């Protein structure tokens, strides 16, 4: 308690000592340095210089202390911003991943599709060829069979042009012209 | 499917609004209006700058240090504008507190303070810088942890440096006849 009272008195005197018009903004540290001082992340070679300047400026002291108090709120805000970014990013990420997987699988699919198509063509050609051979054989057999069969048009069995006329049949059946044609 | 996005947006807006409110309270708490800046203006400008930054950069990670930097930059810019305004001739405005010292000081006290300030300055000058910085930072209002973070020592080391330094300072002031600061 005694230290606190003495400290307060000395503090008041010290602040008045440094309350001379030093220029508000021109003597200010830059924003990065103020933030680093508030976060305790100053580089080692700058600590003494920054500490000296802060200890002479009530304004910069206020700024650094204020930034320090604001740090948890800044963290909360940054998290909220990053959460908002994550959502569309995730969706895009998923589609990208799917696209990448598909792209990786696609050559394999194309390979197998091509192979299947070639196989189908080969089978088709072979079967077509065999069918053609069979057709030729069938045609030949049919021709032979046709040759072996009696000609129905020019054969002697032809009823119209056949040379083997059955006179007896005509004679017996033709009753109208029978006598005339038979020389009767 | 905009439900979740809307809730995230609404949450972000609420947090940004809360952040602005908190910043305004801190600016007023630290009485930055003494330096010619308007806490409400800074609060609004920080929110606008942050919102623009959020909208502009949707890909990279958003760091808390960036938020802090936006605040610091906005305050520094406001202070620079205030300095320019202060340099210009002002209309009559007796109600403004202006740039008076933070405490009202009588002429007698001022004369006495002058001597004591000289004594304090002299005594502080006798202390090596490495040991002097924690003392002056403490006198300026930094907490022990804040001193430790800036100077780069542990909080316990900062406490010892401040305690011993203050004892030494008071003893030296007493020796030089600048009075007892106990009173």
Burial B49-71, CB ≥16 within 10 A → b, else e: bbeeebeeeeeeebebbbbbbbb
Put simply, the answer to whether B170 touches A7 (Cβ < 8 Å) is no
pLDDT in tens, A26-52: 678 999 999 999 999 999 899 999 999
| pLDDT at residue number A125 | 77
Q: Which of B9, B26, B63 sits opposite A70 (nearest CB)?
A: B26
A46 in contact with B, Cβ within 8 Å: no
Put simply, the answer to whether B62 touches A81 (Cβ < 8 Å) is yes
pLDDT: which is higher, B158 or A95:
B158
| pLDDT at residue number A72 | 96
B148 in contact with A, Cβ within 8 Å: yes
B181 in contact with A, Cβ within 8 Å: yes
User: Average of pLDDT values for A117-142?
Assistant: 71
**Residue A92: is its pLDDT beyond 50?**
no
Q: Which residue of A has its CA nearest to B84?
A: A25
Residues of A (65-84) whose Cβ lies below 8 Å from B: 65-71, 73-78, 80-84
Q: CA-CA distance, A140 to B183, in Å (whole number)?
A: 137
| pLDDT at residue number B27 | 95
pLDDT: which is higher, B79 or A166:
B79
User: Average of pLDDT values for A53-72?
Assistant: 93
Residue with tokens 């972000």: B12
Output the DSSP codes for B20-75.
HHHHHHHHHHTTGGGGT--HHHHHHHHHHHHHHHHHH--SSPPPHHHHHHHHHHHH
CA distances from A179 to A57, A130, A164 (A): 159, 66, 21
pLDDT in tens, B78-128: 998 988 877 766 555 555 444 444 455 566 666 677 888 888 999 999 999
ipTM over 0.85: no
**B23 burial class (0-12, 13-18, 19+ CB within 10 angstroms)?**
buried
| pLDDT at residue number A148 | 54
Output the DSSP codes for A67-125.
HHHHHHHHHHHHHHHHHHHHHHHHHHHHHHHHHHHHHHHHHHHHHHHHHHHHHHHHHHH
B72 in contact with A, Cβ within 8 Å: yes
Put simply, the answer to whether B64 touches A82 (Cβ < 8 Å) is no
Residue with tokens 């203006």: B41
pLDDT in tens, B32-72: 888 889 999 999 999 999 999 988 877 778 899 999 999 99
Q: Which residue of B has its CA nearest to A50?
A: B150
- Structure confidence at residue A97 as a pLDDT band (50, 70, 90): very low
**Residue A73: is its pLDDT beyond 90?**
yes
| pTM confidence score | 0.63
- Structure confidence at residue A94 as a pLDDT band (50, 70, 90): very low
Put simply, the answer to whether B65 touches A74 (Cβ < 8 Å) is yes
- Among A68-82, A88-102, A149-163, B113-127, the least confident range: A88-102
Contacts of B181 (CB under 8 A, 6+ apart): A6, A9, A10, B170, B173, B174
Q: Which of B22, B58, B83 sits opposite A25 (nearest CB)?
A: B83
CA angle at residue B180 from A52 to B170, to 5 degrees?
A: 35
CA distances from B150 to A5, B42, B71, B137 (A): 25, 26, 19, 10
pLDDT: which is higher, A120 or B126:
B126
| pLDDT at residue number A22 | 46
Helix (H, G, I), strand (E, B), or coil: what is residue B147? helix
Residues of B (107-136) whose Cβ lies below 8 Å from A: 113, 116-117, 120-121, 129-130, 133, 136
CA angle at residue A30 from A29 to A36, to 5 degrees?
A: 90
| pLDDT at residue number B41 | 95
**Residue B142: is its pLDDT beyond 90?**
yes
| pLDDT at residue number A160 | 52
**Residue B141: is its pLDDT beyond 60?**
yes
| pLDDT at residue number A26 | 67
Residues of chain B in contact with residue A73, where contact means CB-CB under 8 angstroms, are 18-19, 22-23
Q: Which of A15, A35, A61 sits opposite B69 (nearest CB)?
A: A35
User: Average of pLDDT values for B161-179?
Assistant: 90
A90 in contact with B, Cβ within 8 Å: no
């Amino acid at each position: 308690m005694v230290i606190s009272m003495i400290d307060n008195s000395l503090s008041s005197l010290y602040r008045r000592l440094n309350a001379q018009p030093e220029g508000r903004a021109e003597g200010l540290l830059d924003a990065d340095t103020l933030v680093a001082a508030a976060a305790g992340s100053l580089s080692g070679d700058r600590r003494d210089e920054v500490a000296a300047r802060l200890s002479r400026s009530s304004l910069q002291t206020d700024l650094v202390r204020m930034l320090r108090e604001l740090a948890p709120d800044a963290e909360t805000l940054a998290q909220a911003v990053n959460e908002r970014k994550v959502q569309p990013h995730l969706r895009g990420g998923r589609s990208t991943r799917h696209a990448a997987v598909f792209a990786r699988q696609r050559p394999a699919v194309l390979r197998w599709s091509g192979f299947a198509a070639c196989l189908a063509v080969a089978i088709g050609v072979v079967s077509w060829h065999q069918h053609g051979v069979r057709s030729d054989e069938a045609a030949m057999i049919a021709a032979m069979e046709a040759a072996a069969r009696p000609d129905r048009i020019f054969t002697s069995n032809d009823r119209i042009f056949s040379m083997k006329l059955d006179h007896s049949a005509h004679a017996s059946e033709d009753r109208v012209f029978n006598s005339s044609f038979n020389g009767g | 499917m905009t439900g979740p996005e809307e809730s995230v947006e609404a949450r972000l807006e609420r947090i940004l609004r809360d952040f602005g409110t908190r910043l305004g309270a801190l600016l007023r708490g630290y009485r930055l209006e003494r330096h010619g800046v308007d806490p409400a203006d800074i609060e609004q400008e920080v929110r606008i700058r942050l919102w623009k930054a959020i909208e502009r950069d949707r890909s990279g990670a958003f760091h808390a240090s960036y938020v802090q930097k936006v605040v610091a930059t906005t305050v520094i810019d406001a202070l620079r504008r205030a300095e320019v305004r202060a340099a210009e001739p002002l209309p009559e405005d007796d109600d403004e507190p202006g740039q008076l010292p933070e405490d009202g000081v009588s002429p007698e006290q001022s004369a006495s303070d002058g001597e004591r300030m000289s004594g304090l300055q002299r005594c502080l000058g006798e202390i090596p810088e490495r040991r002097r910085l924690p003392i002056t930072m403490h006198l300026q209002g930094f907490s022990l942890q804040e001193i430790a973070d800036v100077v780069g020592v542990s909080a316990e080391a900062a406490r010892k440096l401040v305690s011993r330094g203050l004892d030494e300072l008071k003893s030296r002031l007493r020796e030089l006849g600048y009075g007892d600061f106990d009173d």
